[in-house]
């Protein structure tokens, strides 16, 4: 099981997944657990702060689409993906929960019509150290996959950990990040008509190396006071740069995914093929740019990443992404978000809803 670029919120999709070193808000919790204690600009001087993310994505299916780059003949229908997350910050400490899931319908020459469902959920804790210069976080993760066809009914569950670190030198325009996810493995509970022993669910380990740089008047890494009275001088001395909105952000990351021993991917397993997956370590470089082009109204972003196939003999494909956030002042300042992700034999668009910050 390898989700690739599918399960993420609109900001991450628009930045082509180059988000581990940005690590802001609830949307980043499954990209880098160090997002948990990282304070956004408007919460620097609050004792308590929170954020949430709610996003829906649609993956276009039909003839000629190859969702997981297997090259096999399974036909995936258009499907909906969901991402929900909540982040609660208490001074230097933070907790959060996140859930992402996708339900896919397919038609296969061997098994006929069926469904493939995949979920990833977690609960985590984070702490900000060194006066806000270094944020650390850990997430306990649970992954679940289910497949149903005329001859197969299978549910798999596995558990793992993800740890992350975010380095933010005071008043400097750059950040560095590292996130590590352990492999997840669990025996399946299966009921098949073949009588064969049930397979094993395996989600490979991953490492993300990331960096980002901010141009413009905004201070990328201001000192937080966390609402603590002994640090009130920090808030009283806020510079115009600490409160500025205009910026252009350049972000890059490299995602390294480990091998999967003796594995089949979802498409090859469903199709009854012996096409192996995860036989080699794969590298996914990602690059994104974001800018608040109209102060306090419109943010646009674009990016690109290489998505290597996990299947033996399949090369991979280059993705182009883009999106925007727009402020909608109705009662309070709402935020509407949109993102697209396109590549050969793949297309996705996503919607998001939240509060403008």
pLDDT at 110 over 70: no
pLDDT in the model for residue 54: 86
State percent of the chain over pLDDT 90. 51
- The answer to whether 203 and 158 have CB atoms below 8 angstroms apart is yes
Alpha carbons 338 and 349: distance in angstroms, whole number: 7
CB count within 10 Å of CB 194 equals 9
DSSP for 53-90, written as a single string: EEEEEEE--STT--TTS---S-EEPPEEEEEEEEEEEE
DSSP for 302-324, written as a single string: EEEEEE---BTT---EEEEEEEE
pLDDT in the model for residue 353: 82
Question: Domains of the chain, with CATH numbers?
Answer: 10-355 (2.40.160.60)
Residues 196-210 have pLDDT tens digits of: 545 567 788 999 999
pLDDT in the model for residue 224: 92
Q: 275: pLDDT confidence band, cut at 50, 70 and 90?
A: confident
Q: pTM, whole model, 2 decimals?
A: 0.89
Residues 125-181 have pLDDT tens digits of: 999 999 999 999 999 999 888 877 777 677 788 899 999 999 999 999 999 999 999
Q: 237: pLDDT confidence band, cut at 50, 70 and 90?
A: low
Average pLDDT taken over every residue of the chain: 85
Can you read off the two tokens belonging to residue 266?
């979802």
- The answer to whether 185 and 157 have CB atoms below 8 angstroms apart is no
For residue 254, give every residue at least 6 positions away whose Cβ sits within 8 Å of its Cβ, in sequence order, or none: 208, 209, 210, 283, 284, 285, 286
Q: How far apart are the first and last CA of the chain?
A: 35
Strand partners, 76: 106
């Amino acid at each position: 099981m390898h989700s690739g670029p599918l399960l993420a919120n609109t900001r991450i999709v628009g930045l082509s997944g180059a988000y581990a070193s940005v690590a802001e808000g609830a949307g980043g919790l499954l990209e880098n657990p160090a997002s948990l204690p990282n304070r956004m600009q408007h919460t620097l001087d609050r004792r308590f702060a929170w954020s949430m993310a709610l996003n829906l994505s649609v993956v276009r299916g039909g003839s000629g689409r190859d969702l997981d780059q297997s090259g096999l003949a399974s036909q995936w229908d258009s499907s909906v993906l969901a991402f929900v997350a909540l982040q609660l910050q208490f001074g230097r400490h933070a907790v959060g929960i996140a859930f992402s899931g996708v339900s896919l319908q397919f038609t296969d020459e061997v098994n006929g019509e069926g469904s493939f469902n995949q979920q990833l959920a977690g609960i985590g804790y984070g702490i900000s150290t060194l006066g806000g210069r270094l944020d650390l976080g850990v997430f306990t993760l649970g992954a679940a996959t289910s497949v149903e066809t005329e001859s197969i009914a299978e549910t798999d569950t596995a558990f793992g950990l993800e740890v992350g670190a975010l380095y933010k030198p005071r008043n400097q325009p750059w950040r560095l990040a590292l996130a590590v996810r352990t492999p997840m493995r669990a025996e399946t509970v299966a009921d098949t008509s073949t009588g064969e022993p049930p397979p094993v669910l395996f989600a490979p380990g991953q490492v993300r190396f990331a960096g980002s740089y901010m141009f413009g008047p905004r201070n990328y890494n201001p000192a937080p006071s966390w609402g603590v009275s002994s640090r009130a001088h920090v808030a009283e001395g806020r510079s115009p740069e600490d409160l500025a909105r205009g910026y252009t952000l350049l972000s890059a990351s490299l995602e390294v995914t480990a091998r999967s021993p003796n594995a089949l991917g979802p498409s090859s397993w469903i199709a009854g093929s012996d096409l192996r997956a995860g036989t080699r370590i794969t590298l996914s470089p990602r690059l994104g740019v974001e800018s608040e082009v109209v102060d306090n109204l419109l943010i646009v972003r674009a990016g690109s990443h290489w998505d290597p196939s996990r299947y033996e003999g399949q090369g991979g494909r280059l993705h182009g992404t883009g999106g925007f956030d727009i402020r909608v002042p109705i009662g309070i300042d709402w935020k509407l978000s949109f993102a697209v992700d396109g590549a050969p034999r793949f297309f996705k668009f996503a919607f998001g809803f939240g509060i403008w910050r």
